[in-house]
Structure 1
Amino acid sequence: MIRRICISFFRWKSRSNPKGEAPIYCRLTQDKIRRQFSTGHYVLAKEWDSEKQRVRSKFRQRRIDLINEDLDMIYNKLYNLESKLIVEGADNIVEAVYNIYMDKDTSVNFFIQLFQKRYEVASKMEGIKFAKYTLWKFRHIMEQTQEYIKWRYGQEDIPLLKIDTSFVLGFEEYLLLEKKLAPITVNKVLQRVKQIIQYGIKCNYIKVDPFVEYKPLKTEKELVFLTEEELNMLENYQFAQEKLGKVRDLYLFSVYTGLAYHEAFTLQRKHIIKGFDKELWINMKRGKTGKAFEVPLLPKAIEIIKKYGELGNDDSYILPRMSNQKMNSYLKEIADIIGIKKRLTHHTARKTFATTILLYNDIPIEIVSSLLGHSSIAITQKHYAKVVNKKVSMCMEELKNKLMQKGS
C-alpha cells in the first residue's frame, strides 16, 4: 500500500513580526523525513484556524480569501506533483516534491526572469521599434509585477507554471486596492503582463493561458480638450510671470500642430520642410507608433517658432526644452489662474487640435486621422466618437432648418 506524504499548514508563532502577524508555513512529512517552506503569507493569531489549517472564514476581506485560495492551490499542486512522482516510481518522494516545487529543478522558467529577458531584447531596439518612453513603461510595469509577487508570495520571482487565473485576479485587485490605480491604468498593466504570458506560451514554458477567461475592467475615458472660448481665454491672458507665458506658448504650439509631448520637444530644424504648396510643413515620425506623418504649420504655430528664435542648423531643437512633469505642473497653475475647470496637461493640447481646431472646423475625420499620425482611422473614430457624433448632430440640425425653409 502506498503511503502518501502529509501536507499541512501551520502558523509559525515564534517568527511573528512587530504587528503580531506570523508567517504561514507548509510542511511535508513522511515517516521521519520533513521539509517545510514559507507560503509568503502572514496572519494574526485570531485569523488562523489551526484545526482547518486555513484563515477563519468570518474574516471576509478579499486579501484573506486570496490567502485561502493560494493555500488550496499550493496543496493541489503538491498533491498532483506527488501523484506524478509515485507513478514514475521516484525515490524519496518528500525530497523530490520539495525540490521540484521549490524550483531547485534548473529546467523551471521564472516569470520576472522572462520579463527581464524580453525587456533587454526590446531595449536593444530603442529608437528603431520602441520609443524611450515605451521602454520606461515596460520596465515600470515589470517592477510593479515584481512588487505584487513579493506582496503576495514573499518571493522575488515565481515559476511561470504557478501563474493562473488566481494570480491575474489577485494582481488586478492589488493594483486597484493597494496601489490605488485607475481602472484604465490597471488594464494597461495587465495588457503588458498578458503579452509576456503569451510569449511564454509560444515558447512552451506555460501550457494554460491564465488570461483566457479574464475580462478587462470597464472604463470610459473622458476626452479633455479646450473649447474655443477657453482657448481664447488662454491665448489672450496676460501673465505676470514670464515663465507661465512661455509654458502657455509651448502648449499652444501643440494646440496648432497636434504634436504629442515627445514629438514637440524633439522637433528639429530638419523636420521643417517646404511642401508641394510652397508652405512650411512638419515631417517626422510618431514616437508612439513610428508612423511617418506630415502637418502643415498654421500661422499661430509659425509665430511661436519665430518668438523663440529663428530656425538654426538641422539638429537644433525648435522649442525650448522642458520636462513633461514640469510642464504639467505649470499648466495646472495656469488653469487655476485663468479659471479653466479642467485638468490641463500637455496631452490635452493634442486633443484640442483634433477637436476644436480640426473637427469643429469641418475637417473630415480621415484627414484628422492622417494629421494625428494614427495607425488607422478606426483609432481616431474610437477616441473622438462623441465629438464626431456631436458634429453630425449639428450638421443634421442645419440640414433640418434648410429643408424647413424650402418647404415654407
Structure 2
Amino acid sequence: MGRSSFEILFFTRKDTGKKTGKNLIMARISVNGLKPVQVSLKLSVTPKLWDQRTHRAIGRSSEAVELNAMLDGVQARFINIHNDLVKRGEDISPEILKNLFLGKNATPTLLEYFKERLTEKEKLVEAGRLKKVTKDKFDRTIRYIMAFMHSDLQIRDIRFNQITLDFIEKFNVYLLSTQGLTYNSAAKHLEHLQWTVNKAFQNGMMPRNPFNDFRIKKTETKKEYLNKYELGKILSKKFASERIEKLRDVFIFCCFTGLSYSDAQKATVDNLSRENDGRLWLITYRNKTEVKSTVLLLDIAIKILDKYAEHRKKPDDYCR
C-alpha cells in the first residue's frame, strides 16, 4: 500500500452548550482525500477556553490542562491506529479509523450492509413508497451473493475493503453459469451490488470502488409482436377450460389498452369514466412510474368488461 495522507482536527459544536454552558468537542478525520468523518469524543469545554487557531484549550486552569491531555491522548490513539494499518498494508479510510477508534469492526460486512438496506426498503414498502416486487428483487440478489460466497469462495461474508474486481467478475460468472441467468438478468443483480458498493464507498467504508473498473454487460433483446391475424386467432379460440379463457381475456384486454398485467390488476370500476360523448375511458396510474394513464377503451376491451360485469371487482378476478 502507498503512502497515506492523514489528518485529525478537533473542533467544538457551538449549538450544544445551551443547557450545560459547555460545547461538545468533535474530531474530524481526513485520509487520502476521502470524504472526512466526524467523531464525538464525549468531551466538552467552556467556550471561552477554546482556541479556534490551535484547536486546544488555552490557559493553565485545571480544566484546560486536563482537557488538552485527553485530546493529546485521543490524537495519539488515532495516529497509532493509522500507523498500525499502514504497517499491515491494510486499506485505510476515515470510516475505518473511526470504527477502530470506537472499538467496532473496521468496516461492516457486505451482507450486514445489504440487509440494512433491505430493512430500509421493507419500511418503504410498508409506507407505500416502494413496490414489493422491487424489494423482493433486492432480496433475491442477497440470496445469490450468499450462495456464491458459500459455493465458490467458501466464506460466509466479506468486508467492503476486501471486495475487489476479481470478486465482482467471479460473481458475474456465477450468475451466468451456476444460476443460468441471461446477461440482462445477471445485470440486474450486479446493479444491486454496484448500488450497495457505491453507497459504502460514498460513506467512506472503502478507499476505492472496484466497480470503476467493471462494465456491466447487457444485450439488446428482440421483442416479438403479434400481428392482427395472430391476435384474431387467439381472440376467436375456444377453450375447454374456463380459467384459460379468462386468462386469454385478460391478455386481450391488456393488448387493447396497453396496460401491463400489474396495472390491469389494480384497476377497478372506479377507474372508469364516461365522457359526455359516450366514450369510455380507463384512468389509472402506472405501477412502475406512477405516471397518470388515460386510456380510451376500444370496443373489444369494452366487450370484455361487459362479459365479466357481474364481478364488479378487479380485472384480475377474471383469471380466477
Does residue 279 (structure 1) correspond to residue 279 (structure 2)? The answer is yes
Alignment-derived partner of residue 85 in structure 1:
87
User: CA 1:321 to 1:160, structure 2 compared with 1: closer, same or farther past 3 Å?
Assistant: farther
Q: Which amino acid aligns with 1:109?
A: P
Report the Cα distance in structure 1 between the residues aligned to 2:287 and 2:253, rounded to whole angstroms: 17
Counterparts in 2 of 1:105-120, with a 5 A limit? 106-120=105-119
Alignment-derived partner of residue 309 in structure 2:
309
How far off is 1:322 after superposition? 4.7
Alignment-derived partner of residue 97 in structure 2:
none
Alignment-derived partner of residue 318 in structure 1:
315
Alignment-derived partner of residue 265 in structure 2:
265
C-alpha distance after superposition, 1:229-261 (max 9, x if no partner): 111111112223332222111110101111112
Counterparts in 2 of 1:110-259, with a 5 A limit? 110-126=109-125, 128-259=128-259
Query: Aligned to 1:125, what secondary structure does the other structure show?
Result: helix
Q: Which amino acid aligns with 1:180?
A: G
Gapped regions of structure 1 (runs ≥ 5): 1-80, 89-99, 324-408
Report the Cα distance in structure 1 between the residues aligned to 2:240 and 2:233, rounded to whole angstroms: 15
Contact 2:280 2:297 in 1 (8 A): yes
Report the Cα distance in structure 2 between the residues aligned to 1:132 and 1:274, rounded to whole angstroms: 32
Query: Aligned to 2:293, what secondary structure does the other structure show?
Result: strand
Gapped regions of structure 2 (runs ≥ 5): 1-82, 91-99
Q: Which amino acid aligns with 1:129?
A: R
Contact 1:281 1:295 in 2 (8 A): yes
User: CA 1:228 to 1:166, structure 2 compared with 1: closer, same or farther past 3 Å?
Assistant: same
How far off is 1:307 after superposition? 0.7
Contact 1:134 1:288 in 2 (8 A): no
Report the Cα distance in structure 2 between the residues aligned to 1:242 and 1:299, rounded to whole angstroms: 22
User: CA 1:143 to 1:285, structure 2 compared with 1: closer, same or farther past 3 Å?
Assistant: same
User: CA 1:194 to 1:310, structure 2 compared with 1: closer, same or farther past 3 Å?
Assistant: same
User: CA 1:201 to 1:246, structure 2 compared with 1: closer, same or farther past 3 Å?
Assistant: same
C-alpha distance after superposition, 1:321-348 (max 9, x if no partner): 659xxxxxxxxxxxxxxxxxxxxxxxxx
User: CA 1:165 to 1:277, structure 2 compared with 1: closer, same or farther past 3 Å?
Assistant: farther
Report the Cα distance in structure 2 between the residues aligned to 1:246 and 1:223, rounded to whole angstroms: 25
Report the Cα distance in structure 2 between the residues aligned to 1:178 and 1:86, rounded to whole angstroms: 36
How far off is 1:82 after superposition? 7.6
Report the Cα distance in structure 1 between the residues aligned to 2:276 and 2:206, rounded to whole angstroms: 54
How far off is 1:277 after superposition? 5.7
For these two proteins, the number of residue pairs brought into alignment is: 226
Report the Cα distance in structure 1 between the residues aligned to 2:218 and 2:269, rounded to whole angstroms: 43
C-alpha distance after superposition, 1:291-346 (max 9, x if no partner): 2222121211111111112474xxx32341659xxxxxxxxxxxxxxxxxxxxxxx
Query: Aligned to 2:193, what secondary structure does the other structure show?
Result: helix
Contact 1:110 1:157 in 2 (8 A): yes
Contact 1:257 1:301 in 2 (8 A): yes
Query: Aligned to 1:265, what secondary structure does the other structure show?
Result: helix
How far off is 1:83 after superposition? 7.3
Report the Cα distance in structure 1 between the residues aligned to 2:306 and 2:298, rounded to whole angstroms: 13
Report the Cα distance in structure 2 between the residues aligned to 1:87 and 1:299, rounded to whole angstroms: 72
User: CA 1:84 to 1:258, structure 2 compared with 1: closer, same or farther past 3 Å?
Assistant: same
Query: Aligned to 1:282, what secondary structure does the other structure show?
Result: strand
Identity over aligned residues, as a percent?
24
Q: Which amino acid aligns with 1:84?
A: V
- Taking only aligned residues, the RMSD between alpha carbons, in angstroms, comes to 2.6
Report the Cα distance in structure 2 between the residues aligned to 1:209 and 1:275, rounded to whole angstroms: 56
Q: What is the TM-score normalised by the length of structure 1?
A: 0.51
Q: Which amino acid aligns with 1:85?
A: K
Q: What is the TM-score normalised by the length of structure 2?
A: 0.64
Report the Cα distance in structure 1 between the residues aligned to 2:130 and 2:255, rounded to whole angstroms: 25
Query: Aligned to 1:283, what secondary structure does the other structure show?
Result: strand
